[in-house]
């Protein structure tokens, strides 16, 4: 069992939910007192984590929000990750994808240097670009399959041969015969069931709930097969920016608690 699955099992049991909180620190949306102070990315995310750790099954720092601040942003990310609760899995969201030698360096960065339990990976370059992310049996590559942006239909659901592109991605990953997972957006509820048919046991990261309009209940029930298999529902902005004032941590915690409650209700409803 990978570190992601082991930790996720414990967190799901403890929190009664499958909430992944995305850490996307945007100084333009933070309280002014944080944004104008030292190390705003670190301080904002640290306080969010402290306020929501009782509800989070996982955390997902988005590299772009740190990298856009250059070396200072990366230093703040490294400090944040060093302080994260050990029992909560960390998904590094960078969507990396490149030729084998470069991919090996990306894998080393997200898994060894940053210490992620999982990382989002772009499969567009094919098998050799994915291989380095499978080298460590404790780590889990989460491969883009059906993303939540409107333009995903330009490529991912197009038919190539007898199968749609997202189906071919799953078929490719099957050949590795090693632990992995998928990224499937909540806006694709009608296709999520087919993904689960093709990959019934793999963990799925499901973004797109909340601000992006994906349906929470169907994502929970289909994504987890009514609580039988691992999945996490990612929410970022709808938790992080409930308030831009001094009560932002309390507001974030209330919203995280609400999401966990809705997730538990979706599964309890099915059991009844």
DSSP3 helix / strand / coil % (the chain, rounded to 5): 50, 15, 35
pLDDT at residue 160, as a whole number: 82
In the chain, which residues have pLDDT < 70?
210-212, 269-272
Asked if 116 and 30 touch (Cβ cutoff 8 Å), the reply is: no
pLDDT of residue 211: 65
Farthest-apart Cα atoms in the chain, separation: 56
Q: Report, as residue numbers or ranges, the catalytic residues.
A: 95
CB 47 within 8 A of CB 269: no
Tokens of 112: 């060894």
- Enclosing H/E stretch for 73: helix 70-82
- C-alpha distances (whole Å) from 56 to each of 53, 117, 169 are 5, 15, 29
Q: Residue 210's pLDDT is what? A: 66
Rounded (5°) CA angle 146-185-136: 70
Domains in the chain, CATH or no CATH each: 3-271 (3.20.20.70)
Of 216, 254, 250, the C-alpha closest to 235 is 216
Please name every residue paired with 182 in a beta bridge, in sequence order, or none if there are none: 143, 204
Number of neighbouring beta carbons within 10 Å of residue 230: 19
The encoded tokens of residue 21 equal: 């909180």
CB of 110 closer than 8 Å to CB of 77: no
Question: What does the pLDDT read at residue 271?
Answer: 54
Convert the pLDDT of each residue in 34-89 to its tens digit.
999 999 999 999 999 999 999 999 999 999 999 999 999 999 999 999 999 999 99
- Residue showing tokens 């041969």: 161
Question: How far, in Å, CA of 9 to CA of 160, rounded?
Answer: 36
pTM of the model as a whole: 0.96
Give the C-alpha separation, 198 to 179, whole Å. 15
């Amino acid at each position: 069992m990978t570190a992601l699955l082991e930790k996720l099992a414990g967190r799901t049991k403890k929190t009664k939910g499958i909430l992944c909180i995305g850490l996307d620190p945007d100084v333009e949306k933070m309280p002014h007192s944080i944004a104008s102070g030292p190390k705003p990315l670190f301080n904002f995310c640290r306080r969010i984590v402290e306020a929501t750790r009782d509800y989070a099954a996982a955390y997902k720092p988005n590299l772009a929000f740190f990298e856009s601040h250059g070396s200072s942003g990366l230093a703040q990310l490294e400090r944040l990750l060093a302080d994260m609760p050990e029992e909560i899995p960390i998904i590094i969201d960078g969507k990396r994808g490149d030729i084998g030698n470069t991919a090996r360096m990306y894998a080393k960065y997200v898994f060894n240097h940053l210490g992620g339990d999982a990382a989002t990976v772009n499969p567009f370059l094919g098998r050799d670009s994915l291989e380095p992310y499978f080298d460590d049996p404790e780590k889990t590559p989460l491969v883009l399959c059906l993303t939540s942006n409107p333009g995903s239909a330009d490529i991912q659901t197009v038919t190539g041969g007898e199968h749609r592109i997202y189906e071919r991605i799953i078929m490719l990953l099957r050949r590795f015969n090693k632990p992995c997972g998928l990224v499937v957006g909540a806006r694709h509820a009608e296709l999520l069931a087919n993904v689960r048919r093709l990959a019934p046991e793999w963990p799925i990261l499901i973004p797109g709930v909340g601000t992006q309009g994906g349906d929470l209940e169907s994502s929970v029930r289909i994504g987890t097969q009514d609580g039988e298999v691992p999945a996490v529902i990612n929410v970022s902005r709808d938790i992080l920016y409930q308030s831009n004032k001094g009560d932002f941590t309390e507001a974030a915690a209330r919203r995280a608690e609400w999401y966990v409650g809705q997730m538990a209700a979706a599964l309890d409803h099915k059991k009844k």
